[in-house]
């Protein structure tokens, strides 16, 4: 049956519903923990095999040996290059890399985009479970 204004009822109903859009920087939607955002790094587990470096399609990750320590490796991630495909997480033989739900990673200063993961995002299983409010501030500082 054809008629004019098939949406009328729905439109009037929507007037009294809560809006689905939100005032973004002030109010945030909850996101899933499984969102593949910034990579977190467990320094103790890393054996420096560099499989992640070889597999990274964007050349975003770099593993270097910490100079005066035995078998301790540092992981450097270029957030400008990273495409968040989590290939490194998938192929890490020791499961030293993890995805986190940090996704607001834009920076004004380009040099801040290259980060040392063991400093910025050390992997802590207990805090990873519950998302905390100021998680973006940590990256910015």
Position 4 contacts other proteins (CB under 8 A): yes
Q: Look at residue 97 and give its three-state secondary structure.
A: strand
**Contact pattern from residue 86 through residue 125 relative to other proteins, giving x for each residue in contact according to CB under 8 A and a dash for the rest:** xx--x--------x--------------------------
- Number of neighbours of residue 117 by Cβ within 10 angstroms: 24
Return the range that interacts with other proteins (CB under 8 A); candidates 17-25, 69-77, 117-125, 130-138: 17-25
**Is residue 12 packed enough to be buried (19+ CB in 10 Å), middle (13-18) or exposed (0-12)?**
exposed
Instruction: Point out which residues bind other proteins (CB under 8 A).
Output: 1-8, 10-12, 14-15, 17, 19-23, 31-32, 34-36, 55, 57-58, 83-87, 90, 99
């Amino acid at each position: 049956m054809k008629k004019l204004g098939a949406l009328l009822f729905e439109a009037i109903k929507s007037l009294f519903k809560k809006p689905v859009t939100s005032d973004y920087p002030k109010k945030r939607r909850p996101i899933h923990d499984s969102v593949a955002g910034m990579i977190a790094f467990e320094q103790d587990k890393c054996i420096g095999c560099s499989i992640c470096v070889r597999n990274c399609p964007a050349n975003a990750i770099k593993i270097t040996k910490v100079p005066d320590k035995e078998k301790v490796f540092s992981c450097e991630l270029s957030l400008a290059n990273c495409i968040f495909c989590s290939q490194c997480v998938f192929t890490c033989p020791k499961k030293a890399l993890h995805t986190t739900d940090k996704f607001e990673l834009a920076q004004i200063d380009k040099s801040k985009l290259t980060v040392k993961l063991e400093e910025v995002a050390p992997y802590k299983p207990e805090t990873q479970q519950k998302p905390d409010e100021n998680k973006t501030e940590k990256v910015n500082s």
